[in-house]
Structure 1
Amino acid sequence: MAGNPTPDRIEPPADGTPRRRRALILVENLSVPFDRRVWQESTALRDNGWEVHVICPKGTKRDTESYMLLDGVHIHRYPLRPATGGPLGYVREYGLALWHTLRLARRVGPVDVVHACNPPDLLFLIARRLQRRGARFVYDQHDLVPELYLSRFGRGQDLLYRAVCLLERLTYRAADVVIATNESYRQAAVLRGGKRPEDVFVVRSAPAVERFRQVPPEPELKKGKPHLLCYLGVMGPQDGVDYALRALARLRDELGRTDWHAVFIGAGDTFDAMTALARELGLGDLVEFTGRIPDADLLRYLSTADVCLSPDPSNPLNDVSTMNKVLEYMAMGRPIVSFDLKEARVSAGDAAVYAPANDEGEFAKLIARLLDDPEERRVMGEIGLARVTGPLSWERSVTHLLAAYEAAYAKPPRRGRRARG
């Protein structure tokens, strides 16, 4: 859909009809609707009577319009250059994002709920301004930023670490309600955030099953090999693509297996470094990097894949985080090899096999085991699909999302008073 001219201000109905309750969702990490979780939340709220506005950055090749009304959701976007140069680069990025977010929030006007999605834990500054005008603040904690800092930069508990801990505490304190992506995050909100358990709601990320549908497999994608291995997701420092590549090198060198072709789908900060590592390991003929691809091509690869890889290493963030790629593999009925992480087991259960944390040799052995056992692969795929269409489905998460909004809306507005935890 083409973009529309950016309105100077979104005005209430002029005919005297009662206006719908208005939600303003703030996200800095990704553009919308590319951010699937935020888009699912937006459309669920729209379907339940809310007028939804989203403020987010522009994408690079998609989501480039400054304003568009997409499927009934108002999307306001601003230009943003991703951070470079370590932590100080993020300080520059976040400062610019806050300025643009405040500018666009003024244009949207009064709202009933402001819904801020981290990272970063700075959007509470915008939320507090809107609280003083009667809005309630829903904090949607996508990442535990202190753990993200430790896992991404390896600088230990230095001054910047203490700063991100402080910002997280201030965000918890300002929030009327917290949305957590899993029980581990919920425990963090209660224990270190001081939130009342009844004010913290688990809204799990779940793939839209209508998007992830089986299509006929295409053997030619295996490049003449009997088996296809797939990785889908972001390629950042904490995502473990390097672990997967080293495991594949061991699968070839120590187990003598070259009966596979592997495709890595996605992009990110370490994409160039990972393609270089594949060449360094001599995997050029066995491994393919596609970058980001259209959904139609994604379904072709996943429908053809024999085994899918979730190589996120054990670290303070990954141990307690839910990996979207795991749920997406399950939605496609694919068996998974993962490292043994707490929330990976919660999500996948018996749809995955688990190597000891960060053990690349065992990861390689589990790949070989699944390649040799098509019946085990079939059963694991069926288990995963049943979980993601049942207890882990988005429909169940929508119920919790709406409950969180009702709990926030029922609270008295804070207006000018100080936020309390």
Structure 2
Amino acid sequence: MPGKRALILVENLSVPFDRRVWQECTTLRDAGWEVHVICPQGTKRDTEPEVVMDGVHIHRYPLRAATGGPAGYLQEYGSALWHTWQLARRLGHFDVVHACNPPDLLFLVARMLKRRGTKFVFDQHDLVPELYLSRFDRGKDLLYQAVCAAERATYKTADVVIATNESYRDIALTRGGKRPEDVFVVRSAPAVERFQQVPPEPELKQGKEHLLCYLGVMGPQDGVDYALRALAALRDEQGRTDWHAVFVGSGDTFDQMVELSRKLDLAGLVEFTGRIPDEDLVRYLSTADVCLSPDPLNPLNDVSTMNKIMEYMAMAKPIVSFELREARVSAGEAALYAPANDVSAFAKLVAELMDDPERRAKMGLLGQSRVEGPLAWRNSAKALLSAYTTALG
């Protein structure tokens, strides 16, 4: 739709670091849209306040990430809302405002823009009520009730909802009360140009026979603690020390996870890299024998699509995961599944794959074919453009 203007609102990550949002931006750009993004500034990258990148206009504001409990997030979200509204008001009229959660508060900006005739597309990256329960372990308290109210208001305000998988779509239809024709599944898919294999580097294994790899965020709900305990079980219960494990990524619990590895006496077997450039990430994944997806079963993880699983499959790597509904939908036979939250069973499956290179290779190719076929971004791009067409009526 040439000449149309879209405004994408993001609070959780900077752009283009948020790969899903960047894919949406470039898809819309290629379809003739003038695309603007409002997002926070990064700390080491994406630091310019304003930039035009590959034809996408990016407007960034300073934001201090929350630390501690819910009070810190309320402060963060309040600051983000104020900056987002000020920038949106300055940028003029848009045909579509596209808000990516969390948090479920950007509908407040969308509601004000709708008074000017703008249509609202809600891109539900996370189920925030389930995220609250899984992250803070406070039960269904008053703040949880407020989180649910914000989600209801977001659904009500939205003209169209974008869901990341069928589980999220079902929730939009039931809990959100949306019509089936107004909810579209736009699955996250790895940027295949980012994940191109390079020759393995045996030195990354630190003298061991096998390299195990974790890639992703390290937050309370992400299961890095489960992965570390599974590795301790791999050593103590399976009697295996012929491996080196690398954890790539960062997050709220990074320092706690480093300390836990020391307590479990894994310091000589485990390496934490923090966030690293793409070229280094590809080196580790190209060398890895088994990739870890230790997200535990909780209200959020069971129905969420894990980006790490998609990225492992793009690199043709076998995966060990806990039994989660959407993990199985994504990975299929490219993963082995341990009973939920059972670190001993997880360790046993890792050992099985370490001992079976033919099975590892077969699983890796199955995963890669899924990412290049039914789970490829080109399919999600079509759904995204259909969602915009529906929003415009």
TM-score by length of 2: 0.99
Deviation at 1:233, TM superposition (A): 0.2
Match of 1:326 among 294, 309, 322: 309
Q: Secondary structure at the match of 1:53?
A: strand
Per the alignment, residue 87 of structure 2 pairs with 104
Q: 4+ runs of 1 displaced by more than 6 Å?
A: none
Could you tell me which residue of structure 2 aligns to residue 257 of structure 1? 240
- 1:363 alignment partner, one of 346, 355, 358: 346
Q: Match for 1:113: what amino acid? A: V
Confirm or deny that 1:144 pairs with 2:144: no
Give the Cα separation in 2 of the matches to 1:225 and 1:39. Answer: 37
From 242, 249, 252, the equivalent of 1:266 is 249
Which of the numbers 394, 402, 408 marks the counterpart of 2:385? Answer: 402
Task: Give 1:247's match in structure 2, choosing from 202, 223, 230.
Answer: 230
Tell me, in whole angstroms, the C-alpha distance in 2 between the residues paired with 1:279 and 1:64: 34
The alignment yields a C-alpha RMSD, in angstroms, of 0.8
Asked if 1:297 corresponds to 2:297, the answer is: no
Are residues 1:29 and 2:12 paired?
Answer: yes
Pair 1:67 & 2:47 matched: no
* SS across alignment from 1:357: coil
| Equivalent residue number for residue 164 of structure 1 | 147
Name the CA distance, whole Å, in 1 between partners of 2:261 and 2:354.
Answer: 21
State the shift of 1:241 in Å: 0.3
**Amino acid of the residue matched to residue 398 of structure 1?**
A
1:272 aligned partner, one-letter code? D
Q: Whole-Å Cα distance in 1 between the matches of residues 3 and 97 of structure 2?
A: 15
1:207 to 187, 190, 194: 190
Q: Could you say which residue in structure 2 is the equivalent of 1:312?
A: 295
Within 2, Cα distance between the matches of 1:27 and 1:214?
A: 30
One-letter code aligned to 2:325? K
Is 1:344–2:327 an aligned residue pair?
yes
Which secondary structure state, in structure 2, belongs to the residue aligned with residue 290 of structure 1? strand
For 2:212, what is the secondary structure of its paired residue?
A: strand
* Matching residue within 222, 229, 232 for 2:215: 232
Q: Separation in 2 of the partners of 1:287 and 1:84? A: 26
The separation in 2 between residues aligned to 1:168 and 1:269, in whole angstroms, is 24
- Could you give the per-residue CA deviations for residues 216-251 of structure 1, whole angstroms, max 9, x where no partner exists? 000000000000000000000000000000000010
Tell me: CA distance 1:408–1:257, structure 2 relative to 1, closer, same or farther (3 Å).
same
How far, CA to CA, are the matches of 1:320 and 1:404 in structure 2?
22
**Partner SS for 1:39:** helix
The alpha-carbon deviation at position 114 of structure 1 amounts to 0.1
Q: How far off its partner does 1:19 sit?
A: 7.2
Q: Deviations over 1:66-113 (max 9, x none)?
A: 000000000000000011231111111111100000010012110000
3-state secondary structure, aligned to 2:246: strand
**Candidates 64, 81, 84, aligned match of 1:81:** 64
Residue 110 of structure 2, aligned match among 120, 127, 130:
127
Structure 1 unaligned blocks of 5 or more:
1-17, 411-421
Q: Secondary structure at the match of 1:32?
A: coil
Matching residue of 2:372: 389
Given candidates 260, 268, 273, the residue that maps to 1:277 is: 260
Match of 1:380 in 2: 363
TM-superposed CA distance for 1:183, in Å, is 0.4
The correspondence for 1:216, drawn from 159, 174, 199, is 199
Cα distance in 2 for residues equivalent to 1:108 and 1:317: 35
2:313 aligned partner, one-letter code: M
AA partner of residue 145 (structure 1): V
> C-alpha deviations, 1:103-155, integer Å up to 9, x for none?
10012110000000000000000001110001000000000000000000000
Q: 1:95 aligns with which of 74, 78, 91?
A: 78
- TM-superposed deviation, 1:210: 1.2
Cα pair 2:119 2:391 within 8 Å, conserved: yes
| In structure 2, distance between residues paired with 1:367 and 1:316 | 25
**Cα pair 2:2 2:31 within 8 Å, conserved:** no
The CA deviation string for residues 12-71 of structure 1, in whole angstroms up to 9 with x for no partner, is xxxxxx971000000000000000000000000000000000000000111111000000
- Inter-partner Cα distance in structure 2 for 1:90 and 1:371: 41
Deviations along 1:245-299, one digit per CA (max 9) or x if unpaired, are 0000010011110000000000000000000000110001100000000000000
Q: Which residue does the alignment assign to 1:10?
A: none
Query: How many Å separate the matches in 1 of 2:207 and 2:135?
Result: 37
Distance 1:407 1:156 in 2: 37
Q: Helix, strand or coil for the counterpart of 1:300?
A: helix
The CA distance in 2 between the partners of 1:373 and 1:194, in whole Å, is 48
The code of the aligned residue for 1:150 comes to: L
Are 1:192 and 2:175 counterparts? yes
Partner-residue secondary structure (3-state), 1:46: helix
Separation of aligned partners in 2, 1:19 and 1:263? 46
User: Aligned equivalents of 1:297 and 1:20: distance in 2?
Assistant: 40
AA in 1 matched with 2:95: D
- Consecutive unaligned residues in structure 2, runs of 5 or more: none
Which residue identity lines up with residue 77 of structure 1 in the other structure?
R
The one-letter amino acid of 1:50's match is W
> For residues 182-225 of structure 1, what are the alpha-carbon distances to aligned partners after superposition, in whole Å with 9 as ceiling and x for unaligned?
00000000001000011000000000111101100000000000
Structure with max Cα Rg = 1
